[in-house]
Amino acid sequence: MIDLAVIDYDMGNLHSACKGLEKAGAVPKITNSPQDILSADAVVLPGVGAFDPAMKHIRELNLEETIKQAIASGKPFLGICLGLQILFDGSAEGTERGLGIIPGVVRRFQSEPDITIPQMGWNQLELKQPNLALWQELPPDPYVYFVHSFYVDPLDSSVNAAMVTHGTQTVTAAIARGNLMAVQFHPEKSADNGLKILSNFVTLVKDRLMTSSC
C-alpha cells in the first residue's frame, strides 16, 4: 500500500483531490503532521483560494520547512492549483513570501476584450515535457479544467511541463523538475484526462518503491 500524504493547511479541495487519488488506486491520508509528511512515500499539496492566507497557514502550522524537506528528499511530490503557486517566490495577489522552491513569481492575467478572468472551464494543454510521467498515455493536446485568475511565471522556462493559451496569453499550466511536479488545473475535475494524470502519479510512486526495494 502506498503511504501518500495530502497536506492539510486549511485551503480547501482536499476531499475532491483525495477522491481523484482514490479512483487512481491510492489510499491518501489527509494530514498536517510533519512526521506523517516526511515519512510518506509521496506527497500531494492541493489548494484553492488566495496566496497570502495559504502562506500564513503554512507558517502557522510550521509546515514550510517540512514541505521543503519533503521535496529535497527526492520523493514524488505533486502540487495542485494553489499548491503550484505557493512553490514560487511571491505573488501579485498579495505580499507574503512564497516557499521559493521554484524561482519566479505569480502574475495576474492581463485584461483583454474577449477573455474572462478568471479562466474558468476546459482548455487544452500544450505539453512541453512529453516524456514526463504525468503525461503518459494522454491524448495529444489534452483538455483539462481550470479555475484561476493568476498564473506562475518561472525564471527558468525549462521547468515548464505544459502551457495553456487564454486569449492571446500563453502561460505556464504545469511545471516539473526532478521529483517535483505541479499543475495549475484541477485534475480531480478533469474527467478521464485528469484521472489518468493522477493514476500516472500513483504509478510513478509504485515504480519508485519497487525500484528502491530491489
**81 given a catalytic annotation:** yes
Give the pairing type, strands 77-80 and 42-45.
parallel
Strands (E), the chain: 4-7, 28-31, 42-45, 77-80, 90-91, 104-108, 119-124, 126-127, 143-148, 150-154, 160-166, 169-177, 180-183
Marked catalytic residue, from 57, 65, 81, 126: 81
Among 93, 148, 166, 188, which one carries the catalytic annotation?
188
Catalytic residue among 18, 65, 186, 214: 186
d(CA 119, CA 148): 5
Four-residue CA torsion sign, 157, 97, 66, 148: negative
Q: In angstroms, what CA-CA distances link 158 with 53, 129, 174, 178? A: 29, 9, 11, 12
Active site annotation includes 188: yes
Contacts of 77 (CB under 8 A, 6+ apart): 42, 43, 44, 45, 70, 71, 179, 180, 181
Yes or no: say if 10 and 50 are a contact pair by the CB < 8 Å rule: no
Check if 186 is active-site. yes
Which residues are catalytic, by number?
A: 81, 186, 188
